[in-house]
Amino acid sequence: MALSLAAQEVLWLRYLLVEMGFKAEGPTTLQLDNTSAIAMATNQGYTPRAKRIDLRAHFVRDHVEAGRIKLKHVPTEEQLADFLTKALPTPRMMQLCNTSGVVDVQVEGEC
């Protein structure tokens, strides 16, 4: 379950920032397009077939209930990070690059 890995990374970064003297105010929002993962992590979609990922769902659920993480559904079409993780058609790739602020930089000469 990719959600549990993302939650672990978010929590690690939160703890690191606290160690550096920053305040962790409010939950960190994880945006995902997997409604099944959200349902399992909020205890709305548990089925006996999901037993093998139950521990990971409990991990996320515990941190959601503790107020450290907030889950937000974002439709697949609106996922800005898709251009970093998926092969996309050129028009969609360009749209996501422009939306996220990625620019083409031309460097001349030697480094």
Taking 80 as the threshold, does the pLDDT of residue 5 lie above it? yes
In a domain, 104, yes or no: no
Range of the domain at 15: 2-75
Instruction: Say if 10 falls within a structural domain.
Output: yes
Per-residue pLDDT tens digits for 84-109: 888 888 888 888 888 888 777 777 87
Residue 93 domain flag? no
Does residue 106 lie within any of the structural domains?
A: no
Domain count, the chain: 1
* 108 part of a folded domain: no
**Whole-structure pTM value:** 0.69
Domain assignment present for residue 100? The answer is no
Answer yes or no: is 71 within a domain. Answer: yes
Q: How confident is the model over 38-81, as pLDDT tens digits?
A: 888 887 656 666 666 667 778 888 999 999 999 999 887 777 77
Residue 12, in any domain of the structure: yes
In this structure, what token pair is assigned to residue 87? Answer: 């092969």
